[in-house]
Amino acid sequence: MFRIGGFLPLSLCDFPGRVAAVVFTRGCNFRCPFCHNGHLLAGEGTDDLAEAAVLERLADLSPRLQGVVVTGGEPTLQPELPRFIRALRARRLLVKLDTNGSRPGVLESLLGAHLLDFVAMDIKAPWARYPVLTGAPCDVGALQRSVALIAASGLPHQFRTTRVASLLTDDDCAAITRQVPSGSPHVFQPFLPEHALDPVLRRMGNVPDAP
């Protein structure tokens, strides 16, 4: 079963240059304190959306859509992810994958099968500080492998970092920038505190973008 925790019919900002729908998968192996999709972190949910209903809705929207963003949660935890993406591509929809990079084997398989058109990966911290920013043990080698796979894929891609002033210093941000392969796009995203997983962070205001 492909677990879908949310669906956005139309977006103009989630798939660069494309009008897209967004499919939110359920379940994540990280517990980032600044996560704004905390309701999707658990692998089980009573309010899951039926895959058939989502595909039917996409068919209805197809005259206006160019692609679908598969995000989460963490989509690569879903065993049925390749099958679901094939269903999207059968409907002539481009596919953008958002990932935390923790499962490079899945990513390599998707890239090898030519199932993706755009990949975005979050680089959350300097490698040494990953457990703090993700709230979970991390295989840094796996993350680095994902970065290398994406950078060498030949696909449009983007690395991105949510900058939370209380969690990342200027030196941390400089270290993150150095972790990005030369020639790969990287952006710092503003922190949106309203729905942060950590209640303490919810009381913070927005912080300025990174210089």
pLDDT, tens only, 32-67? 999 999 888 886 667 899 999 999 999 999 889 999
Confirm whether 99 is domain-assigned: yes
Peptide bond into 43 cis (omega under 30): no
Residue 86: the pLDDT is 98
Could you tell me which residue, 137 or 211, shows the higher pLDDT?
Answer: 137
Confirm whether 207 is domain-assigned: no
Q: Quote the mean pLDDT of the chain.
A: 93
In the chain, the largest separation of any two C-alpha atoms, in whole Å, equals 48
Confirm whether 106 is domain-assigned: yes
* Residue 13 tokens, joined: 């900002």
Confirm whether 108 is domain-assigned: yes
Q: What CATH code is carried by the domain that includes residue 178?
A: 3.20.20.70
Residue 47: the pLDDT is 83
Confirm whether 138 is domain-assigned: yes
Percent of the chain with pLDDT over 70: 94
Bridge-based pairing state of the strands 4-11 and 157-163: unpaired
Confirm whether 71 is domain-assigned: yes
Confirm whether 86 is domain-assigned: yes
Q: DSSP code of 110? A: H
Confirm whether 208 is domain-assigned: no
Q: How many domains does the chain have?
A: 1
Q: Which residue range is the domain that position 184 belongs to?
A: 4-202
Give pTM, 2 decimals.
Answer: 0.94
- CA 9: distance to chain centroid? 17
Cβ atoms 134, 161 nearer than 8 A: no
* Residue 62 tokens, joined: 């197809």
